[in-house]
Chain A
Amino acid sequence: MTPPPGRITRREFVTTAAALAAGGCRPRRFRPDDFARPAESPVALIAAPHYGVDLADLITRGLRTLDVDLTGARVLLKPNLVEFEPESVINTHPAVIGATAVACRRLGAREVVVAEGPGHRRDLEYLLASTRTLPVLRDERLPFVDLNHDDVAAVPLRTWYTDLGTLALPQTVLDADVIVSLPKLKTHHWAGLTCAMKNLFGVVPGAVYGWPKNVLHFKGIGESILDIVATVRPHLAIVDGIIGMEGDGPILGTPRPAGVLIMGRDVVAVDATAARVMALRPEGIGYLREAARFLGHLDAARIPMRGERLERFVTPFRVLPAFEGLRA
């Protein structure tokens, strides 16, 4: 993909929201009444030292600490499947996908579907097979929907960080009762961090917008993340932080074990916690800081931890030089 065109560099991107906030004449980006937030957003941190442990049990227990009840729900799991490199950790591990499906069923889900629309690889048959996701889908009898090629409907955006106004979104996403963002814990060479919010880029259909989904870069990565998350409104996030990626993510970085699953109902709080696990300051990431104005909580005081203590998992992730300022 290209960097966002012209007007914005990576460093500028990180500070965009702060600069916008400092200006006195910012245009209205959202209607506050449309976004009710609870006073607190609990996040569960569950230790998972490797992928061979009983992940379904861990995820079920984590979701129970958050009082998640999926009775009768049609649940859509949105993992992060991007690219395949044999020794790399680019994608949500298939064991986490399968275990989350099992956990959702245990919590009452009527139907669980896995859905993704990769922004790089168009050949999903190859991607699902090479990442060994296909056997998990078969074993767990999980239907898979290619969001790049799903039916679409034009949906008015609920916020106005971009000037897109509407976005064609996959019908499967629109029909889901519960959307679970299931990202990999990674650094990102344009956005600093890619986690539960950025993962939602994958719901934007490639057959409409192309590969890469370049319109989102032109409209601003941070701005697009905000519009998409505000419109799609994921209900849950479960982050595969068992082995994350540091350095030149989201593709060319290197594996970094953190041994944790991070989960919560508030994707902003989950991403903020993910950043803290990586020893990064979430307040330094423009789109997170902006999202904390209306979508969720960034302030650690409003994110009570369930399960384990955050300090147990803090693992300084290496970042590119442009993001050294994010270090906690």
Chain B
Amino acid sequence: MTETLGDALSLVTTALHRSRNRDGGWGYHAGRQSRLEATCWAALGIAVPLTDTPILAWRAPHGLLVEPATRQTNYAFNGLAAVALAAEGSGTSDDAGQVVDGLLASKGVRIPASPAIRQDTTLQGWSWTDGTFTWVEPTAWCLLAVKRLRAHTRPGQARIAEAERVLHDRECTGGGWNFGNGVVYGADLPAHVPPTVAGLLAMQDRPDTALVERAWRFVERQAPREHSLTALAGAVLALGAVGRPVASLLDALAAQCRTSLGLENAAVLGMVAVALRSRDHEAGPRVFTLARQP
């Protein structure tokens, strides 16, 4: 790791160590309630086992992790948690597997077709919360988790196939994904970097598809323009996962860290730390790596 990247990593990990709660978890901001997403990213960022955090105590009977602070099941963050728990030294395969089994038991709801939107509303991936529609980010994180941990099972294979159809269906014009719909009332809505990062991580095992190529081209073009830690760190992880060069993005990320730690959101800083450490193939992107599909 270069001195520049090392300095940036030191800044970020110091902030993460400092903001850790007494219960071993992280809130999104220092001194705030421990939350699932923030804890997963921060723990990955400083290579703390998730077994040393409170998240496994949040397991509900269905196997999913439910924050006591919100008492709502967030499927996207459970997808992330499953992947993080499956990381070497972070949890056990059983810890992760129980979460994925909970994910396999849940689906976004179908809604009637609407002339306002282009998408196929019958496809069922994952929603953010119970009883709502399928969206790109929860579908991508849950798809990544299922591919990592249950790809060999029949239920896993069925959900993978449908979730991949969701991602094909929701692609924005020109490539990539946004938070919601690619087209509303015939008008194109732009892709965003963070949802595209999630989509790329989930589809990295199919790097030769046009869908993935359009997505990485979008991230390569857009992420450097956004000058945010989220966009730059996410781009490093996603482009690294599909074998694209990330050296210039890493330099930009390190420079951005020296300017500002953004809004000091622990989830973002954890992602930044994972991205910066990826240069040396420490605990970084291997957490999110899938084997290529033929």
Contact = CB atoms under 8 A, between A and B. Distances in A.
Contact of B133 (A2, A130, A144): A2
B71 interface: yes
B244 interface: no
A65 to B, nearest CB: 36
Interface in A237-256: 248, 251-252
B72 A168 contact: yes
Contact of A121 (B121, B179, B185, B268): B179
A151 B180 contact: no
Contact of B265 (A146, A151, A214): A146
B227 interface: yes
Interface in A148-202: 149-152, 154, 168, 189
Interface in B171-195: 178-181, 184-185, 187, 189-190, 192-194
A210 B27 contact: no
A32 interface: no
Given A120-B179, A125-B262, A214-B135, A3 B116 contact: yes
Nearest to B35: A207
A150 B185 contact: no
A37 B223 CA distance: 50
B185 A151 contact: no
A94 B74 CA distance: 33
Interface stretch (B10-18, B50-58, B123-131, B208-216): B123-131
Nearest to B111: A5
A43 B131 CA distance: 40
Contacts of B281: none
Interface residues of B, number: 53
Interface stretch (B150-158, B159-167, B228-236, B282-290): B228-236
A2 B129 contact: no
A74 B213 CA distance: 50
A189 B178 CA distance: 18
Interface string B120-153: 0100000111011101011000000000000000
A251 B111 CA distance: 23
B192 A151 contact: no
Interface residues of A, number: 39
Contacts, number: 128
Contacts of B190: 85
Nearest to A209: B129
B114 interface: yes
B69 interface: yes
Contacts of B226: 123, 126, 130
Interface string B217-242: 00000000011111100000000000
Contacts of B129: 208-210, 214-215
B263 interface: yes
B263 A144 contact: yes
A214 B117 contact: no
B3 to A, nearest CB: 25
A93 interface: no
Contacts of A20: none
Nearest to B113: A6
Contacts of A168: 70-72
A2 B179 contact: no
A139 B183 CA distance: 38
Given A126-B230, A251-B189, A6 B184 contact: no
A129 B71 CA distance: 33
B27 A126 contact: no
A294 interface: no
Nearest to A252: B187
Nearest to B72: A208
A122 B37 CA distance: 14
B292 interface: no
Contacts of A150: 28-29, 32
A209 B187 CA distance: 26
A248 B189 CA distance: 12
B243 interface: no
A85 B190 CA distance: 9
B61 interface: no
A215 B70 contact: no
B117 A189 contact: no
Interface string B64-84: 000001111010100000000
A103 B38 CA distance: 36
A124 interface: yes
A129 B227 contact: yes
B33 interface: yes
A316 interface: no
Given A210-B76, A248-B187, A6 B228 contact: no
Nearest to A122: B194
Most buried by B among A2, A189, A251: A2
10 contacts: A2-B117, A10-B116, A123-B228, A125-B262, A126-B230, A151-B32, A207-B70, A207-B74, A210-B127, A210-B137
The 10 closest A-B pairs by CB, nearest first: A210-B128, A149-B28, A126-B228, A5-B111, A125-B228, A125-B262, A214-B132, A123-B230, A211-B179, A208-B70
